Amino acid sequence: MTMMFRKEEGMELHIEGQHIAISDNLRALIAERLDKLNAHHRDVMHARVALVKSNHHLHGSDEARITLSMTRRKMLQAAKVGKTIEEAVHNSLEALQRELADYRGKRRELDKSRLKTAKTGPRLSGQVVQLVADQGYGFVDIGAEEDVHFVRSAIVGGTFEGLTEGSAVEVDVISVADGYEATRVVPL
């Protein structure tokens, strides 16, 4: 079994092989393709690639399983076979590319509808009560029953890295199915 860990700016990559030694070229191919999938969105937090080389005499039974952990607790998976391990990797990445396009399209539509229903009144004041820096999100206490969830991209007039637990902020809040979400976070 071969393992490889790599930490990118926003994505952790883990590659393992069963019955196969993973070449540098294959590692580079996988890393490059996953970087391209994540290039403009930076919503893939972790990628796990499992490559299984079949010892069986049947051709087309090499398998590549890829699991992507996304922001907002979403996971996408693809498992494809091929005549070679490279073909299996290519097939899995193609399937994930289609899944990502569908997921991102749905997220975009959902975000548009949320912004239409966002409160336009005064911002609410609160304080950051939890930061998950490696995942790029946190929670703000505004005095409601539940804390308000926010993501890195919602911060205006400051940076995510500049926030600490206890930081005073103003937030624009919308109600979502599982609580409250900030459409805008302004550090004070």
How confident is the prediction along the chain (188 residues), in pLDDT tens digits per residue? 555 555 545 688 999 999 888 999 999 999 999 989 888 778 888 999 999 988 776 666 899 999 998 877 789 999 999 988 999 999 999 999 999 888 888 877 776 665 555 555 567 889 999 998 888 899 998 887 778 899 998 998 888 899 999 999 999 888 777 778 888 999 98
| Three-state secondary-structure class, residue 152 | helix
The CATH number that domain 124-187 falls under is 2.40.50.140
For the chain, residues classed under CATH 3.30.160.100 are 2-115
pTM greater than 0.85 (yes/no): no
Please give the CATH topology (third level) of the domain spanning 2-115: Double Stranded RNA Binding Domain (3.30.160)
Residue 184 to residues 36, 55, 106, 141, Cα–Cα distance (Å): 28, 54, 21, 14
> 2-7 and 12-18: which strand pairing?
antiparallel
> Cβ distance 169 to 156 under 8 Å?
no
Among 62, 142, 122, which Cα is nearest to 150's?
142
